[in-house]
Amino acid sequence: MEKSNFVDQIRIFCRSGHGGPGNKHFLRNKFTALGGPDGGDGGRGAHIILKGNSNLWTLLHLRYYKNVLAENGEKGGANNCHGRDGKDIIIEVPLGTIAKDEETGEKEAEILEDGQEIIWLKGGRGGLGNAHFATPTNQAPEHAQPGEPGIEGWKVLELKVLADVGLVGFPNAGKSTLLSVVTAAKPKIANYAFTTITPNLGMVEYRDGKSFCIADLPGIIEGAAEGKGLGHRFLRHIERNSVLLFLIPADSADHKKEFEVLVNELEQYNPELLHKQFIIAISKSDMLDDELKEAIQKELPKEYPSLFISSVTGLGLVNLKDELWKVLNTNAPKI
């Protein structure tokens, strides 16, 4: 099987740096035989930092980056010299990346802006030198703190595609063909299920130099919320889309049922997805006459905008762009 260059999930072992120990030292030179404590503090362990990079679209560059081990802080020196801090590790990731702990599943960081930096795993603090522990009753402390340990564990980086519009539909609904027509994207198109196995992004040029981003996502099937087909790999990407465009082919046996199955899978995965804006488009409509269009229109839910389009003939594509632009720029909640 061809290896995809689109990598949207990476598992890596991370360990931030340990803090350097404080120094237990006393001033000694040719002028001072019994000087006081002058042990310096240990350096901080290196952080592991996530940084957003808008030029990245995938986690491919991290595919073989399996162990991220940050530098430890150095031990404190004599004469109250502070130990050197560990050099931080910066991991650049595409926008829309979420960092999780593999064991607990807890979300630890989220990158949404270019240049945004988040300290993912903090390095351990350096220990205090014995100079900090001098008191009037204990002027020669024999104690210095050890450095704090760093944080380690298996972590997961997940990418959720950032796009204004997400194309939702069963395999072979015509999503890739539509994307290839309304954008400059060149997705793989063929007459079999799951032609698209990774998201494809394209920019739709609108009037007066305006544009918006649309994503062709892997096809959904019944049971996707339980992981069937491409399951969660598909569903997590649509969490970022402002508008969901449901594509139902004109030759579907039951247009209403197909729409309900798609919505049901979204609801089972994450009920909050139902608060997004929905638009229904009947694809391959060049094979329909006016009577069939009217019959299909009666089947569809009245609360959502619906259009008839054909990517082959261009039927309804201008109206579709107008409707998408209107919904994207309207703050009114979905009915």
CATH of domain 1-159: 2.70.210.12
Task: Give me the residue spans of the domains in the chain.
Answer: 1-159, 165-328
User: Alpha-carbon distance 327 to 23, whole Å?
Assistant: 64
Closest C-alpha to 12, from 77, 97, 131, 96: 97
- What is the spatial distance between Cα 168 and Cα 155, in angstroms, rounded to a whole number? 30
pLDDT in tens, 122-176: 999 999 999 999 998 898 898 999 999 999 999 999 988 778 898 888 877 788 8
Q: Is the pLDDT of residue 185 over 90?
A: no
Helices assigned H by DSSP within the chain: 175-182, 231-235, 255-269, 290-299, 317-328
- Neighbouring CB atoms inside 10 A of 237's CB total 23
pTM: 0.69
**Phi, psi at 220, each rounded to 5°:** -100, 150
Q: Could you tell me the end-to-end alpha-carbon distance of the chain, in angstroms, rounded to an integer?
A: 44
C-alpha torsion angle, residues 258, 264, 270, 276 (rounded to 10): 60
Q: Do domains 1-159 and 165-328 have the same CATH topology?
A: no
- Rounded to 10 degrees, the C-alpha dihedral 9/116/236/61 comes to -20
Please tell me whether residue 108 adopts helix, strand or coil conformation.
strand
The string of pLDDT tens digits covering residues 209-259 is 888 888 877 666 544 444 444 445 567 777 778 899 999 999 888 999 989
Note the pLDDT of residue 334.
Answer: 44
118: left (phi over 0), alpha (psi -120 to 50) or beta: beta
Q: To the nearest whole number, what is the mean pLDDT of the chain?
A: 84
Say which DSSP state 193 is in: T
Dig out the tokens for 23 from the structure.
């120094």
Measured in degrees and rounded to the nearest 5, phi and psi for residue 268 equal -65, -35
Helices and strands of the chain, counted as H and E runs? 5, 14
DSSP, collapsed to helix, strand or coil, labels residue 173 as coil
Instruction: Determine the 3-state secondary structure of 159 from DSSP.
Output: strand
- 165-328 fold: Rossmann fold (3.40.50)
How many Cβ atoms sit within 10 Å of the Cβ of residue 248? 27
- Residue 199 has a pLDDT of 66
Of 5-9, 21-25, 50-54, least confident by mean pLDDT is 5-9
Q: Can you say whether the dihedral through the CA atoms of 55, 60, 64, 66 is positive or negative?
A: positive
Q: Between 197 and 71, whose confidence is greater?
A: 71
Q: How many angstroms separate the CA atoms of 307 and 309, rounded?
A: 6
Does residue 325 register a pLDDT over 80?
yes
Closest CA to 83 of 144, 35, 159, 19: 19
Question: Could you read off the pLDDT of 267-317 as tens digits, one per residue?
Answer: 887 888 888 899 999 998 998 898 999 999 998 999 999 999 998 899 999
Higher pLDDT, 200 or 22: 22
Amino acid at 270: N
pLDDT given for residue 331 in this prediction = 54
Burial grade of 147 (CB within 10 A; 0-12, 13-18, 19 or more): buried
| Residue 259 CA neighbour count, 13 Å, CB half | 25
For residue 194, the SS3 value is coil
